[in-house]
Amino acid sequence: MPDRSRVDLPAYVPDRYDVFVGGIKQERGVDYEVLGRSLVFARPIAQEGRLGFWRWLSMWLGVAGTYRKHENVDVVYEVNGRRQVATGLRPERFV
């Protein structure tokens, strides 16, 4: 079975929402499934992880940048007629 990713929805997100990964809208049943209050993606969602001391130093000095893949998971929902965004939701590996 391929690696999958899980994102837990915050308690304040209502039942109707749109999901975006890296700014691209995801389709329920195609790109992800819903299990309780979690979104389960059929593929791993790439996260850069923590940067070490030398990486931070090289970026601070302008020697090098960080070029690792990092995908943000955002959920757009509506409360009292106003659109809200839950951004930067942390994916976890799901087996």
Query: Can you give the pLDDT at residue 88?
Result: 84
Average pLDDT over residues 23-32: 96
Does the pLDDT at position 59 exceed 70?
A: no
Answer whether 73's CB lies under 8 Å from 19's CB: yes
Give the model's pLDDT for residue 55.
Answer: 64
| CATH number attached to the domain at 4-94 | 2.60.40
Strands 24-26 and 32-35: unpaired
Whether the pLDDT of residue 76 is over 90: the answer is: yes
Q: What is the pTM of this model?
A: 0.75
**Domain residue limits, the chain:** 4-94
Among 1-5, 71-75, 91-95, the range with the most confident prediction by mean pLDDT is: 71-75
